[in-house]
Amino acid sequence: MKHPLHQFQFCPKCGSKRFLEYNEKSKRCSDCGFNYYFNSSAAVVAVIENSKGEVLVARRAKDPARGTFDLPGGFIDLFETAEEAVAREIKEETGLSVNSSQYLFSIPNIYLYSGFEVHTVDIFFRCKVDDFNHLTAQDDVSELLFISYDLINPSDFGLVSIRKGVEKLLCENKQS
């Protein structure tokens, strides 16, 4: 398995080429002593149901996994809470306003972006939306649709963590 920082060749503090593996999740600069730990980026995922109990599914407009199903969401910005991020991402991708959000679970993932492996922790929230009148595919979403749980196929979801999350949701939905 490759070191998560294998693409980082130079120290981000002093620019030295003597930026070497220190342990399984960090590199250390032999010149300035700077230790850089590679940690997961945080992302949010929204599970939104309509009054019929159908789940809002997005079709990805961009790579990675362009054209496959996804659940609305994205990366948490600096100085933003996960709850703020899920509300912002929903607004950006769907035009909808979130009334409330409830933590469900999290799943680690590797998100390939511009040829770089971004390690993430995807935080799933059940989001309550009262008004669907402004539902519009926007940002990096090409289509939005509601699908009943019994018609959802996890293999239609292109990102591994979303597929695993959908499988977990389907399993929980069968038990209730």
Around Cβ 56, how many Cβ atoms within 10 Å? 23
Sign of torsion over alpha carbons 50, 46, 145, 142 = positive
Catalytic residue among 84, 89, 92, 143: 143
52 alpha carbon, distance to own chain's centre: 26
For residue 143, indicate whether it is catalytic.
yes
- Which residue pairs, CB below 8 angstroms and at least 24 apart, start in 72-81? 72/45, 72/46, 72/48, 72/141, 73/43, 73/44, 73/45, 73/46, 73/122, 74/43, 74/44, 74/140, 75/41, 75/42, 75/43, 75/44, 75/120, 76/41, 76/42, 76/43, 76/44
The closest of 89, 81, 108, 4 to 48, measured between CA atoms, is 89
Which residues are part of the catalytic machinery?
143
